[in-house]
Homo-oligomer: A and B are copies of this chain.
């Protein structure tokens, strides 16, 4: 049982967004020009030094409205259910959200970003730089999602 013990996290900030509930949240920020604000708590501000040089960041957050999960899930993009770990459903054993976002502007500890699909008030857990050499993969099979996302919103 050792490997199943609980781990503890504390948020490092909070996300302010135009999305008040899941219903009007775009899938992975896909196809939206909406701006969200990432508020990093003041005590972490120094950790943003040099971030203006990056076009994109990977944001990890806590799906605070998530409750429970199913291992097979239905989605808006297919008629049959698929394995949870082949979807980006917010209902997961570890309710961690992940989105690649565009950095639009920074004002001290506040980052304005485009393409973030988190609900207003979402706890922020981490920010990582998007590094094309390691994060961008060019020849990929997108599984059952092939061709289903273009131009669609959830």
Contact = CB atoms under 8 A, between A and B. Distances in A.
A149 to B, nearest CB: 4
A142 interface: yes
A68 interface: no
Interface in A76-95: 82-88, 92-94
Contacts of A102: 137
Quick one: which of A29, A46, A128 has the most chain B CB within 10 A?
A: A128
The size bracket of the interface on A is 35 or more
A96 B93 contact: no
A97 to B, nearest CB: 9
Contacts of A137: 55-56, 100, 102, 130, 132, 136
Q: Which of A3, A11, A29, A144 has the most CB of B within 10 A?
A: A3
Interface of A: 3-12, 14, 27-30, 40-41, 44, 46-58, 60, 62, 71-72, 82-88, 92-94, 96, 98-100, 102, 123, 125-145, 149-150
